[in-house]
Amino acid sequence: MSQSSPHLEFTRRYLQALEAGTTGEALAAFFHPEVRQHEHPNRLTPQGTTRDLAGLLASAERGLKAVSAQRYEVTSALCVGDTVAVEAEWSATLRVPVGNLPAGGTMRASLGMFFTFRDGRIVSQRNYDCFQPF
């Protein structure tokens, strides 16, 4: 197990790109063409969902309409072979109200994210998002 690796550094750059609002081709560069993201059930996505590359890119665009800023604070990370596990605290400033949070309010979640790499890019991302009450 390692706390430093090329895959882990790539994952950190990916999270920084999300924080910066990166979309389109610049965001697509982080993903293998066959990528699948599995978002397990949570308060925002009660049934969970699976996204391919087009779905991930569309989700990033939708996210920009909902939040004006977001931050991923990585609290722990491990790399084993081609898999990276990240625990992070996420926060976002809302552009629109969500539940009892007003526009301009802050939404927070504790995240467990698991990434698998192929050919140096993310081919699988599994999210376990635990949102604070809203």
Antiparallel, parallel or unpaired: β 31-39 and 121-131? parallel
> What is the C-alpha radius of gyration for the chain, rounded to an integer number of angstroms?
14
Q: What is the pLDDT of residue 4?
A: 67
Q: Which tens digits make up the pLDDT trace of 71-116?
A: 999 999 999 999 999 999 999 999 999 999 999 999 999 999 999 9
User: For residue 70, is pLDDT > 80?
Assistant: yes
Kindly state the tokens that stand for 75: 């609290």
Q: What is the pLDDT of residue 88?
A: 98
CATH classification number, 6-131, choose in 2.70.98.20, 3.30.450.20, 3.30.70.260, 3.10.450.50: 3.10.450.50
Q: 84 with 117: CB under 8 angstroms?
A: yes
Residue 37 CA to residue 58 CA, distance in Å, equals 13
At residue 54, what are phi and psi to the nearest 5 degrees?
A: -60, -40
For 107, other C-beta atoms within 10 Å of its C-beta total: 20
User: For residue 2, is pLDDT > 90?
Assistant: no
User: For residue 1, is pLDDT > 70?
Assistant: no
For 72, other C-beta atoms within 10 Å of its C-beta total: 19
Kindly state the tokens that stand for 1: 């197990």
Domain boundaries, the chain: 6-131
Q: 116 with 122: CB under 8 angstroms?
A: yes
Kindly state the tokens that stand for 109: 């979640």
